[in-house]
Amino acid sequence: MSDQITEASLKEAITERLNAIHVEITDMSGGCGQSFTSLIVSPQFEKQTSLKRHRLVNAALKEEIARIHAWSAKCQTPAEFERDRAARGGETEGPPLDGTVNGKVEGVKD
């Protein structure tokens, strides 16, 4: 694994380790690889509580998460993802951007 955590490296790891069918990663730190938010859709989340879903993600990304400052994930089953997307007229919602200013974490240098 390279030293730099990127949107692409996280997406690849999540897709491979969680059999995710849809992954959106946003680097909220302006490209320095310190703060990420994500939307993860995986059949592995079926019949799992929100807490268990996040534990699955955190276990799968243990090394990566240890090397970054902030991480948040929205975890959905394929059915939940399709239901939400249909409710929005086919558009995906994207990862959560709570606590950001225009999708960037305040106080983090580019």
Residue 84, CA distances (Å) to 77, 78, 89, 94 in order: 11, 10, 9, 11
pTM above 0.75, yes or no: yes
Find the domain containing 47 and state its range.
7-87
In a domain, 101, yes or no: no
In terms of Cα–Cα distance, which of 45, 48, 52, 51 is closest to 18? 45
In a domain, 44, yes or no: yes
pLDDT value at position 69? Answer: 87
pLDDT value at position 100? Answer: 57
pLDDT value at position 1? Answer: 44
Q: What whole-number distance in Å separates Cα of residue 104 and Cα of residue 32?
A: 11
pLDDT, one tens digit for every residue, the chain (110 residues): 457 888 999 999 999 999 999 999 998 887 676 899 999 999 999 999 999 999 999 999 999 999 998 999 999 999 999 998 888 887 666 665 555 555 555 555 54
pLDDT value at position 4? Answer: 82
In terms of Cα–Cα distance, which of 22, 12, 27 is closest to 45? 22
- The CATH number of the domain holding residue 40 is 3.30.300.90
Q: What whole-number distance in Å separates Cα of residue 36 and Cα of residue 91?
A: 21
Are the beta carbons of 70 and 36 closer than 8 angstroms?
yes
